[in-house]
Amino acid sequence: QKEVEQNSGPLSVPEGAIASLNCTYSDRGSQSFFWYRQYSGKSPELIMSIYSNGDKEDGRFTAQLNKASQYVSLLIRDSQPSDSATYLCAVLTGFQKLVFGTGTRLLVSP
């Protein structure tokens, strides 16, 4: 079992729709969770951090964490073509190691 798992996609959504990106992790001792956005050919950019169960909203982005289910998600409301990118989930494990998923590619069509 991979430490951090994401569906590779692509996830295709029309402009204006809600994009839902999911991530599961294996280490129950994990405490911190991050979402990065990576445009093609560019480096990852941190867009959200979440540390406690529930929702955290920042503009059009909402991160959701459920530690009991070992599940973290990212919702993007009113998706724009400029949101088309690969989204990486990262988990700080109980061993204080940041582990990245392989990413989900999101395509937002005009």
Partner 1 sequence: SQTIHQWPATLVQPVGSPLSLECTVEGTSNPNLYWYRQAAGRGLQLLFYSVGIGQISSEVPQNLSASRPQDRQFILSSKKLLLSDSGFYLCAWSLGVNEQFFGPGTRLTVL
Task: Report the C-alpha gap between 68 and 47 in whole angstroms.
Answer: 24
Selected binder of partner 1 within 13, 21, 85, 92 (CB under 8 A): 92
Asked if the peptide bond before residue 14 counts as cis, ω within 30 degrees of 0, the response is no
Contact 94, 34 (CB under 8 A): no
In angstroms, give the least distance from the CB of 78 to partner 1. Answer: 25
| Under rule CB under 8 A, residue 43 binds partner 1 | yes
| Under rule CB under 8 A, residue 88 binds partner 1 | yes
Sign of CA dihedral 53, 100, 7, 62: positive
Question: Stretches 41-49, 54-62, 66-74, 75-83: which one binds partner 1 (CB under 8 A)?
Answer: 41-49
Angle, alpha carbons 54-73-82 (nearest 5°): 125
Q: Which of residues 20-39 bind partner 1 (CB under 8 A)?
A: 32, 34, 36
Selected binder of partner 1 within 103, 104, 106, 108 (CB under 8 A): 103
DSSP 3: S
| Under rule CB under 8 A, residue 52 binds partner 1 | no
Task: Report the C-alpha gap between 50 and 31 in whole angstroms.
Answer: 9
The site for partner 1 (CB under 8 A) is made up of 32, 34, 36, 41-46, 49, 88, 90, 92, 96-98, 100-103
